[in-house]
Structure 1
Amino acid sequence: MVFESFVKAGAHPASLKLFSLGFIAPFASATFSYLLFNPWASIAMVFLSSFVLIPAMVNIINDEEKIAEEIETENKFLDEYGHVLVGLLVMFIGLIGGYLLLFMTLPPNIQQMLFSVQQTDIHALDGMLVGEGAFLQILENNFRVLGIGIILSLFFGFGAVEIIVWNGALVATVMGNFLNEFLSTGQLAQGLFFSMTRYLTHGLPEVASYIIAGLGGSILSIAIMKHEFRTKQWWRVVKSSTQLFVISGALLIFAAIIEVYLTPWLY
């Protein structure tokens, strides 16, 4: 497959290729969603973007499961998964760029059709940012998403893709709404800077958390299918997955702290 060739097994993910793939996916998925799934275009756009990215993700997961069997030192653990995390975060930024360009350039009626579900979710989340319980509410919501991502990864092997794509579309929609406030005054560059610093400061660690957890669930899923329990390779994979889950949880708490206590203070 063409998209599968973006990431070759046995090599670290190529960031530029993953960025390009992430940037292109929204345009391809939006086109087919608008033409073929008009009443459900907003949901179909996210689903089709995930479908485009799955081949590359499967290659990454298969490669990382093989490497996880051989990881014995913490340095190798951090070096290996650090490369993967950077690559997938770059793909996430590409998704944001693609969705944001779509959001800002489409006619209002088509924009509303393609981003209606994201707008609804944003309005629902806005209410969580008010009140003393905001931190716990956001943390509960984010850990629920994290749990869904892990379950999808365990059963289907690519649960992180859906989480990455959905959050890419969501962040792009929020940034687009924010940018529209600056367009009337001709301050697009200033609006872009503020929207990036406002939403990506907590958005990047939050999505990094979902990526790490999804990767941990995916390599564990493959290991369950390939190995008998209690083998040496099995326990190495379990150790790697557990470490990834712990790092993921810590990152998610860190992202919630930024979202609730730092971002409102800055803006």
Structure 2
Amino acid sequence: KGEAQILRHHTKALLFFIFLFMGFTVAYSLGYLLLGPAQVQTAFSEQISELTRINGGITGRVVDSSVLFIILSNNFKVLFFVTFFAFFYGAGVVFILAWNASVIAVAIGNFSRRLVAEAAARAGATGLTEHFQAFSIGVARYMTHGVLEIMAYFIAALAGGIISFAVINRHINNKSLAHILMDGADLIALSAMLLLVAGVVEVYITPLIF
């Protein structure tokens, strides 16, 4: 069974998880924007710390290639843990992706608030329209590359799950194991390529649009 056939077979599951992730992201983003400062610090303290850590590594880096390396390093760490948990504990993948969605949501929230503040500075006041526009732009900005990242993570999770299923069903001494491992490796390689493309989009293309 080729990789394309595997992906086609699991298209519905992949789409389900992509929309689930997008739902997580939008819900967390709205929560971040609607809660007061004290509640935000309590509910999103870990996510704020993680985002500060990532941005701290990027601050002062004027060379795009350095920024790309930092972003890819973080994304490949997530890819590793997604594959690991998919192999040993399938449901753990959802928790990792929910965490990743919450971190992206904080970034969207910060970006949206900055746009609203800039609009307020220009016009002196802002209404619901400005807030909705800022939120929509924030979601679009991060989903431009975020969808590619999530596709990569779910394909890697699929690879880990396929290998795990083969081992559990005692294919470990079967000749088909080599083929299963090759399919899994190809899917992980596809995930890595998607992450590379997502990183390039995030560093070089997204700033030109937003």
TM-score class normalised by the smaller sequence: 0.7 to 0.9
Q: Which residue of 2 aligns with 1:205?
A: 148
Contact kept? 2:68, 2:199, Cα under 8 Å? yes
Question: Does residue 101 of structure 1 match 2:44?
Answer: no
1:1-267 correspondence to structure 2 within 5 Å: 72-73=1-2, 76-129=5-58, 130-132=61-63, 133-181=66-114, 182=116, 184=120, 185-186=126-127, 187-231=130-174, 234-267=177-210
Q: TM-score, normalised by structure 2?
A: 0.83
Instruction: Give the Cα separation in 2 of the matches to 1:119 and 1:208.
Output: 24
How far apart are 1:232 and its partner, in Å? Answer: 5.5
Instruction: Give the Cα separation in 1 of the matches to 2:96 and 2:140.
Output: 21
How far apart are 1:116 and its partner, in Å? Answer: 0.7
Instruction: Give the Cα separation in 1 of the matches to 2:179 and 2:100.
Output: 31
Query: Structure 1: where are the runs of 5+ without partners?
Result: 1-71
Contact kept? 1:159, 1:218, Cα under 8 Å? no
Superposed CA RMSD: 2.0
Q: TM-score, normalised by structure 1?
A: 0.67
Q: Map Cα deviations across residues 131-165 of structure 1 (whole Å, 9 max, x no partner).
A: 32111221122112211221222222234212210
Instruction: Give the Cα separation in 1 of the matches to 2:171 and 2:7.
Output: 26
* Aligned-partner SS, 1:231: coil
Query: Structure 2: where are the runs of 5+ without partners?
Result: 121-125
Distance 1:138 1:74, change over 3 A: closer
Report which stretch shifted further, 191-200 or 157-166: 157-166
Percent identity reads: 31
For residue 150 of structure 2, what is the amino acid of its counterpart? V
* Aligned-partner SS, 1:86: helix
* Aligned-partner SS, 2:10: helix
Instruction: Give the Cα separation in 2 of the matches to 1:117 and 1:136.
Output: 23
Contact kept? 2:87, 2:163, Cα under 8 Å? yes
How far apart are 1:230 and its partner, in Å? Answer: 4.4
For residue 178 of structure 1, what is the amino acid of its counterpart? F
* Aligned-partner SS, 1:229: coil
Instruction: Give the Cα separation in 1 of the matches to 2:76 and 2:67.
Output: 14
Instruction: Give the Cα separation in 2 of the matches to 1:221 and 1:101.
Output: 36
For residue 80 of structure 1, what is the amino acid of its counterpart? H
